[in-house]
Amino acid sequence: MSPSGHRSILIVGAGTTGLTAALELARRGFRPRVVDRDAGPVPLVESRALGVNARTLTLLSPSRVSDAILQEAHQLKRFRIVSKNRTLVSLDTTRIPGAYGALYALAQGHTERLLIGALSNYEVAPEWKTSVEKLSLDAAKPHVTLRKHDGSEEVASFDIVVAADGAHSAVRRAIGFGFPGDALESSFYLADFRYTRDIDPNFAEINLVDPGMIGRLPVERDVLRYISTLADFESRIVHPAPVAERVWASDFRIHFRHVEAMAKGSVFLAGDAAHIHSPAGARGMNLGIEDACWLAWLISEGREAEYSSLRMPAVMTVLKQTRQLTSMITMHNPLSITLRDLVVPVLFRIPAFSQELLRGVSGYDTPSPPWIDGAQ
Ligand SMILES: Cc1cc2nc3c(=O)[nH]c(=O)nc-3n(C[C@H](O)[C@H](O)[C@H](O)COP(=O)(O)OP(=O)(O)OC[C@H]3O[C@@H](n4cnc5c(N)ncnc54)[C@H](O)[C@@H]3O)c2cc1C
């Protein structure tokens, strides 16, 4: 164990961000505690975050979790945006240099289980049904009150607290940080359907039905996710095969929010606790995994004070990109829609423009990890 492994670290939240932080610390000799108020990882039927990008695969390659993800995931090789039966954008997402394709599909519950499996190699396991109730910064070290699965209370101090407790982060509130930003007026709806036979698992599409959109994404070999701005979207779906079952459905509002700084003293915010945005571009889970990897590396170098200033520009890049993509697919004004349908195909014929979008989808538009040789 490295000398720095003796620092006590509490990770609040065992979602993809918290689990990644734990794994990246554990493989460097730390013994973090990971607590989560839920009883276990996200259920497998709730696909939630689907897109695993090339940057995440690079970051998870030292722990070999990327190999495990590649065994289970489907590569999104072709992506299309269609408006009124006319193809505006057609992208071959394999045309990105490097070891990985731009984007792969794997339901969040699977990714979480792979991370938990890798973590068990270091004898670290999430403490389920254990929540942070209070956190105080009055003493030299963050002072935390935990409510455990049997109802008992534990009060303890930690050298470092990583807040990976999601969009409604209790830790963020406890340290007095706001979560400024705005929300889109309209809701988004999604439903996953299982078919009686296999469908193309390598193809994704956004169909602009102005005003509104219906997106189609592969979840598994025989499951597709449809996501839409229209409450009645299910009646408009042209299914590629007979439906065996509707596996999962949900609706949500899109917020664009971020903290002003990602740390206060020895408390560090990562993932949805620090930033939330639209799922357009599939960046949410990936950005949280990036935060976690950078934070673990900086802690191991004794440079965690640099975390906030190093990560904030990446957060701002992703928020800007996802807002632009979301505006493009949720337009209402007929004039803007006509203009978009004229301009977008022309722009995407410029190779540099498509390549720039692909770099974003791959996650390569944020700083590359200096601790991984040859990383893009
Ligand atoms: C319906 C839906 C669809 C989505 N689709 C996509 C998508 O297509 N692409 C994409 O990139 N993203 C998507 N997301 C977002 C994605 O799921 C998140 O970006 C990602 O889960 C963030 O991971 P995280 O670990 O930071 O937070 P979370 O996954 O929210 O994990 C936070 C964890 O903290 C725990 N916790 C909370 N409070 C406490 C406490 N006080 N004490 C202890 N534990 C606590 C929670 O139980 C939870 O397990 C979707 C989200 C939803 C809900």
Domains and CATH numbers, the chain: 3-75+100-184+254-362 (3.50.50.60)
Question: Over the stretch 100-144, which tens digit does the pLDDT of each residue have?
Answer: 999 999 999 999 999 999 999 999 999 999 999 999 998 889 999
* Predicted pLDDT at 331: 85
Q: Indicate if the pLDDT at residue 91 is higher than 60.
A: yes
Nearest ligand 1 atom to alpha carbon 35: 43
Question: Over the stretch 243-301, which tens digit does the pLDDT of each residue have?
Answer: 999 999 999 999 999 999 999 999 999 999 999 998 888 899 999 999 999 999 999 99
Task: Give the residue-averaged pLDDT of 163-190.
Answer: 94
Record the tokens describing residue 37, joined without a space: 């108020």
Residue 137, Cβ density class (10 Å: 0-12 exposed, 13-18 middle, ≥19 buried): middle
Cα(272) to centroid(ligand 1), Å: 6
Question: Over the stretch 208-253, which tens digit does the pLDDT of each residue have?
Answer: 987 889 999 999 999 999 999 999 999 999 999 999 999 999 999 9
Which band of pLDDT confidence, cut at 50, 70 and 90, is reported for residue 5?
low
Nearest CA to ligand 1 atom 51: 48
Please say whether the beta carbons of 160 and 25 come within 8 A: no
Cα(347) to centroid(ligand 1), Å: 34
Q: What is the mean pLDDT of the chain?
A: 94
d(Cα 269, Cα 261) in Å, to the nearest integer? 9
Please say whether the beta carbons of 168 and 177 come within 8 A: no
Nearest CA to ligand 1 atom 53: 48
* Predicted pLDDT at 84: 84
Which band of pLDDT confidence, cut at 50, 70 and 90, is reported for residue 353?
confident
Nearest ligand 1 atom to alpha carbon 38: 47
Which band of pLDDT confidence, cut at 50, 70 and 90, is reported for residue 55?
very high
Q: Indicate if the pLDDT at residue 3 is higher than 70.
A: no
User: Where does ligand 1 bind, in terms of residues with CB under 6 Å?
Assistant: 12-18, 35-38, 48-51, 108, 131-132, 164-166, 170, 250, 252, 271-272, 279, 282-285, 288
Q: Indicate if the pLDDT at residue 355 is higher than 90.
A: no
Which band of pLDDT confidence, cut at 50, 70 and 90, is reported for residue 4?
low
Q: Pick the residue with more confidence: 339 or 20?
A: 20
d(Cα 78, Cα 76) in Å, to the nearest integer? 6
Cα(44) to centroid(ligand 1), Å: 14
Greatest alpha-carbon span in the chain: 63
Nearest ligand 1 atom to alpha carbon 227: 8
Cα atoms in the 13 Å half-sphere on the side-chain side of 281: 29
Residue among 15, 24, 1, 12 nearest 304 (CA): 24
Nearest ligand 1 atom to alpha carbon 13: 34
Cα(164) to centroid(ligand 1), Å: 9
